[in-house]
Structure 1
């Protein structure tokens, strides 16, 4: 059913359960795993020029570490892995990567934010779910304190115009 599974990662400690879900699905379908980290370049546009290069190198290295952690887990099960670090708007970067690489399924974590936190901070996952032309599996992690994460899948709306 799926030939490729994209696991976007922010490198947080909570990603382990998301990676487990993504790798398990990829293993079940014999799919390749794509590990992606998108550095939000809007957050670093005001960094002084004299430190810009160091900031970029550090954030790129952090992204490489994050994708390496996903890749190592997938490689343990014998799956093919592709890793990439991009700069840009994370939701747009994730959807663009998924579209460019004909990804069958995106597996992402949610942080259980509600109310003002969700309104003010927005949600990368929520934005991806709204616009991705392929299914997105969301795995609840972090803020709810529950040891058993919930998962849900969003299927693309076949009537929606792109």
Structure 2
């Protein structure tokens, strides 16, 4: 139980997941690996040929977003390491969890519904289906009554 993998994209749900993951890591003395997946498929669909320039920009953005998360972890006194991978988010999350032998995957719930959920599908649902380790989905506290 010494490694947690946090799937992080800088969104509000991811920030809530970061809070929970850092609190949990502190309690159990675990290290957090904060993973940002650059979605190559989405980039290719948007920009046609997946050019080096766009890849570079996406990687820079990923590092910027991770920097903020790393600072939050440091503030809480939690050991953290950033990981940037390019690929399909759900697959990469599961792959990295296996590679680092994470005890658990932590991720935020985006809460898409209706047609958007149908079109996008849920990364967290795919991760739950594909992963052989526990997955903690952190819901947005705003939705709690």
Q: Same fold (TM over 0.5)?
A: yes
Q: What secondary structure does 1:7 align onto?
A: strand
Shift of 1:67: 1.8
Q: Does residue 67 of structure 2 align to residue 72 of structure 1?
A: no
Contact in 2 for aligned 1:90/1:124 (Cα 8 Å): yes
What's the counterpart of residue 147 of structure 1?
142
Map residues 1-162 of structure 1 onto 2, 5 A cutoff: 2-45=1-44, 47=47, 52-141=51-140, 147=142
Q: Which of 1 and 2 has greater Rg?
A: 1
Shift of 1:137: 0.6
Q: Please, which runs of 5 or more residues in structure 1 have no aligned partner?
A: 151-162
- Number of residue pairs matched by the alignment: 144
Contact in 1 for aligned 2:13/2:138 (Cα 8 Å): no
Residues 39 and 115 of structure 1: CA distance in aligned 2, closer, same or farther (over 3 Å): same
Q: What secondary structure does 2:56 align onto?
A: helix
Large movers: runs of 4+ above 4 Å = none
Write out per-residue CA displacement over residues 5-33 of structure 1, whole angstroms, 9 at most, x where no aligned residue. 11111122442211100100101100001
Between 1 and 2, higher relative CO (CA 8 Å, sep ≥ 6) is seen in 2
Contact in 2 for aligned 1:11/1:65 (Cα 8 Å): no
Q: Please, which runs of 5 or more residues in structure 2 have no aligned partner?
A: none
RMSD (CA atoms)? 1.9
What's the counterpart of residue 160 of structure 1?
none
Q: What secondary structure does 2:55 align onto?
A: helix
Q: What secondary structure does 1:45 align onto?
A: helix
Contact in 2 for aligned 1:139/1:149 (Cα 8 Å): no
Q: Judging by fraction of residues, say which structure has more helix.
A: 2
Contact in 2 for aligned 1:41/1:89 (Cα 8 Å): yes
Q: C-alpha distance in 1, partners of 2:87/2:72?
A: 26
Write out per-residue CA displacement over residues 106-151 of structure 1, whole angstroms, 9 at most, x where no aligned residue. 110112122222111101111001111111110123xxxx62559x
